Amino acid sequence: MTSEDMVNLLNYLLFVLDRELSYLDIGSIESLKENSLSHIREEIYIIESVTDTQGNLKNILMTLFNDIQAMRENNSNHETIHEIKRHIEMNYHDSNLSLTSISENFGMSGNYLSRLFKEEFGENFVSYLIHFRIEKAKQYLKATAEPIHHIANLVGYTHSVSFNRVFKKLVGKTPGEYRSMNEE
């Protein structure tokens, strides 16, 4: 194969890669595409031998493939974690809602789910669930005259003692004190 044939083949490869990468529905694909295609363009200008070029192209394409796979996985994880967050927000009142139940529901280990959750939202699953429930409880305490034990049940606590302890730890006041403070 002549150098000219190699240049033509590589230019065609660039065209096909550019077109195929454009079809991918992955965030940040443009920077990845530009980076990989620019490496191939550079390779076109420094062709010395078919063997060297073949090895270099193989490395570039393998890197591109691995990057696309990682982006697809991250994109999938991003969607799954947001789906889990929506699930929490719709089911926070369920006292059986837990890391174990959610991880089984979404087919991943609890540790992995909690790690992904922390990467995405800055706090682990359990912490998010507790904070979300307490925020909902604060809304109920401000807006209703429901008994505190009932509000505890409404936000997923089966025992008002546990609810009171967690509420005081996070808010700095008992639910009763919080309600009194907000009535005035």
Virtual torsion, Cα 100, 104, 107, 111, nearest 10 deg: 10
**pLDDT for position 67:** 73
CB 176 within 8 A of CB 148: yes
Structure tokens at 147: 């008994």
- The residue among 157, 166, 158 whose CA lies nearest residue 131 is 166
CB 29 within 8 A of CB 21: yes
CA 172 to chain CA centroid, Å, is 31
Cite the residue boundaries of each domain of the chain with CATH code 1.10.10.60. 92-183
**pLDDT for position 139:** 96
Query: Cα dist. 9→54, 58, 60, 159 in Å?
Result: 12, 14, 16, 71
Virtual torsion, Cα 80, 82, 88, 90, nearest 10 deg: -110
Structure tokens at 40: 């191939």
Which architecture, in CATH terms, is 92-183? Answer: Orthogonal Bundle (1.10)
CB 77 within 8 A of CB 116: yes
- CA–CA separation, 45 vs 48, rounded Å? 9
Give, for all 184 residues of the chain, the pLDDT tens digit: 677 777 777 778 777 777 776 666 555 566 666 776 677 777 666 766 666 667 777 777 777 777 766 666 666 677 888 899 999 999 999 999 999 999 999 898 999 898 888 888 889 899 999 999 999 999 999 999 999 999 999 999 999 999 999 999 999 999 999 999 987 6
